[in-house]
Amino acid sequence: MRVKKLVAAGIILVLGMTALLEAQRRGRRGGLSYVKRPEHITWNSDFTFCRLAYREAYDGDGGGWGVDYPRADMNLPIRLSELTRATVNFDASHEPNHVVIQATEPELFKCPFVMITEVGATFFDEQEALALRQYLQKGGFMWADDFWGEYAWRHWERELRKVLPASEYPIIDVPMNHSIFHTLFDAKRFPQIPSIGWVYSGTTSERGADSATANARAVVDQKGRIIVFISHNTDFGDSYERESDDPTYFYNFSVEGYAIGINI
């Protein structure tokens, strides 16, 4: 608990200092690995982190739905509870409840937020696409993270269009003056967050010139509401999963990662 408090204090300190200074792999389609849902979980109005599990496409590019699981799923809600007044769904031992969900499970509609990672590997069948469309149309929100390069983008866009047709749901670039980046913390840039091994490669881009720039994109509905946030050529999940692995990584990437993640 002391370590958690110190990390939270570090986030607040660095964000405050930043504000002060400103003022002056292609896979195959496989079965879903089953992760048993905790029997004790209580669905209530508190924030519960939900992760979308999916089958991998034959022609996909990515490591699958379980990348960054479960540490990212635990750390982001913990920081949310420490840095905001949001109420988080904790279990009896004060660990955050988090759920791995499939698109066709009815419990999806109990998730206020669902994260999907390595989306260059996704495959949605007709039933999954319909369920996700209904979830998003009824007020749900999805964050697609951690996929790199043009090939992975094209693959994700193809699968996403099964869920949300382009004729009704445009994909937009999200500018830094958008309110989503300033809900609580005043984000100055959209960071490119690499894996923790970045120190050995000497670069934050995981695919060289093909992923040189981090992209903040989104799908909006007819009222302009963001229903899918897309972080391309960057890995916010690692900034949560790896926060305690290396202080240099934390201060370079986790601080900004949490600022934007909590805003979202």
Query: Can you give the pLDDT at residue 157?
Result: 98
Q: Which of 109, 97, 106 is nearest to 141 (CA)?
A: 109
Q: How many angstroms separate the CA atoms of 185 and 220, rounded?
A: 22
Query: Can you give the pLDDT at residue 6?
Result: 44
* Per-residue pLDDT tens over the stretch 101-158: 999 999 999 998 999 999 999 999 999 999 999 999 999 999 999 999 999 999 999 9
Q: What is the pLDDT along the chain (264 residues), one digit of tens a residue?
A: 544 444 455 554 444 434 332 332 333 344 455 455 566 677 888 999 999 999 999 999 999 999 999 999 999 999 999 999 999 999 989 999 999 999 999 999 999 899 999 999 999 999 999 999 999 999 999 999 999 999 999 999 999 999 999 999 999 999 999 999 999 999 999 999 999 988 888 899 999 999 999 999 999 999 999 999 999 999 999 999 999 999 999 999 999 999 999 999
Residue 171: strand pairing partners? 219
Q: Domain residue spans in the chain?
A: 2-37+45-263
Q: Name the DSSP letter for residue 245.
A: T
Question: Does the bond joining 70 to the residue before it have cis omega, within 30 degrees of 0?
Answer: yes
> Which CATH number is associated with domain 2-37+45-263?
3.40.50.12140
Q: Which of 124, 128, 66 is nearest to 98 (CA)?
A: 66
Residue 114: strand pairing partners? 50, 142
Q: Would you mind telling me the total number of residues written for the chain in this entry?
A: 264
Query: Can you give the pLDDT at residue 35?
Result: 58
Q: What predicted TM-score, i.e. pTM, was given to this entire model?
A: 0.87
